[in-house]
Amino acid sequence: MSDEADANRVAGWFGDCYGRQPEGVWQAPGRANLIGEHTDYNQGWVLPFALDRGVLVAAACRHDGMLVIRSRQAPGEPATLPLATVAPGRVTGWAAYPAGVAWALREAGHPVGGASLAIDSTLPQGAGLSSSAALECAVALALTGLYGLDVPRPDLAILARRAENDFVGVPSGIMDQSASLLCQASHALLLDCRSGEGSAVPLEPAAAGLALLIVDTGARHALGDGRYALRRSECDRAASALGVRCLRDVAGADAADGLADPVLRRRARHVITENHRVEQAVALLRAGDLAGAGELLCASHASLRDDFEISWPEADATVSAAMDAGAAGARMIGGGFGGSVIALVPADQSAVRTGIGEEYTRRGWPPPGFLDAPPSASAHRLR
C-alpha cells in the first residue's frame, strides 16, 4: 500500500475516533537487522535496515493537558492520561510505549502538551521487527511535529529508547530506534552503539540479483518476559569477570575461554564473534559482494543458537529449509525465543518460500508468513 493510502486510512480512522481531522500523519518503519544481534547493549556494532512497513500515527494538539491514545490493534483498550501525572509505573500495557515517549520528551525539557493520537500498524506484532520502537519513533515525530520542536534525530532516538528502558522497563539497546529514525533507502546503517555514530552502507539486493526475505515463524516473543533481561545481565557479568566495561572491549574470542562459568563463556563468545561478523559484512557490502555475506548470516545464527541460546525450533527449521532451497544465508533476528528469520535469497524467491512452507507442513506447524524486505527510508511525515 502507498504512503498516501496509508495516510488516508489512518487519518480517516482518527476522524472516526475524535470527530475531527488530524493535524498531521507520521510513519516510522520497523527494522530488520542484517547482522549484529545482541551487540547493541554491549556497546558494539549493528547493521540494521529499515523496512517498508511500520507504525503510523495521526495526531492533533489538545489544550486540556490530556494524552488520549487509540490503537487500531487494541480497539478495546483506549487510554486517556493526564500528562502532568504520567510517570513510570503508572501506565501499563501497549499504551506505556506512547505515554513513555511523551514523558521522556517532557523530562528532557521539551514543552510537549496534550495530544490526541490514533495509531495503526502494518507490521506483524511479536515478529521481531521492532514494532515497539517504530511506535515510539512515530509518536516522537508526531509530538515534536505538533509542537514545532526541532529535536535532532540521534537525540530523538535516545529519548525513544529512554521511554522503552525507563518507562516501559525493557532494557533494550539503541539499535531499533536509531534504525527507524536514521536509515536511508537502499542502505543499511552501521551503528556504533557506544558513540551513537552511524554511517550508511550500500545494501541493494536487487542489483545483485538477490532479495531479502523475512519469514515470520509464527512463534511469538515478548521482550518483557525476563529472558532478554537475563541475557543482558549475563553479558554484564561476563564483562565484569573479564575486567572490561563491556564486551565490546574484548578483542578476541579466545579471551572468553578464560571465563570459569560455561554460560558466561558462551555469552561472551557470541558477542565478541558477532562484532567481528558485522565488520566483515560491512567490508563485503562496500566491496559489492552481498552474496558473500550469506555465510556470515549462517554463522550468526549458529552462534545465537548454540552460544547465546535464544533461538527456537521454528527458526532453526526455517534457516535449514531456506539453505536447502538455495538461500545464500539465513539467520534468526530480534530478541529471540520467537519472531522472524531473515534470508538472503535469489530474486525469484519461489523455491525458498516453497521449501520453507513444505517443512512447516511436514512438521504440522501453521504456515509461516513471508515479507519482502527492501531496505527502505527512515521515519517521516506523510501529510
Q: Which of 85, 66, 236, 57 is nearest to 160 (CA)?
A: 57
Helices 227-242, 262-286: crossing angle, 10 deg rounding: 90
Distance CA 147, CA 133 (A): 21
Task: Identify any residues that bridge with 343 across adjacent strands, giving them in sequence order.
Answer: 213, 330
Q: Residue 373 is placed in which grid cell?
A: 524486505
Q: Which residues contact 167 (CB under 8 A, 6 or more apart)?
A: 88, 91, 96, 99, 100, 103, 104
Q: How far, in Å, are 184, 360, 378, 382 from residue 139 at the CA level?
A: 20, 37, 14, 13
> Within 13 Å and on the Cβ side, how many CA atoms surround 116?
19
Strands 329-333 and 340-346: what pairing?
antiparallel
Nearest to 132 by CA among 71, 191, 76, 182: 71
Residue 338 in grid coordinates: 520467537
The three cell numbers of residue 123 are 507490521
Q: Is 134 exposed, middle or buried (0-12, 13-18, 19+ CB in 10 A)?
A: buried
Instruction: Give the three-class secondary structure for 245.
Output: coil
Instruction: For residue 179, give the nearest of 331, 1, 36, 46 by alpha carbon.
Output: 46
Alpha-carbon distances, residue 241 vs 14, 45, 67, 247, 264 (angstroms): 53, 22, 45, 10, 9
Annotated catalytic residue 166: no
Q: Which of 6, 40, 120, 176 is catalytic?
A: 176
For 187, the 3-state DSSP assignment is strand
* Residues acting as catalytic residues: 176
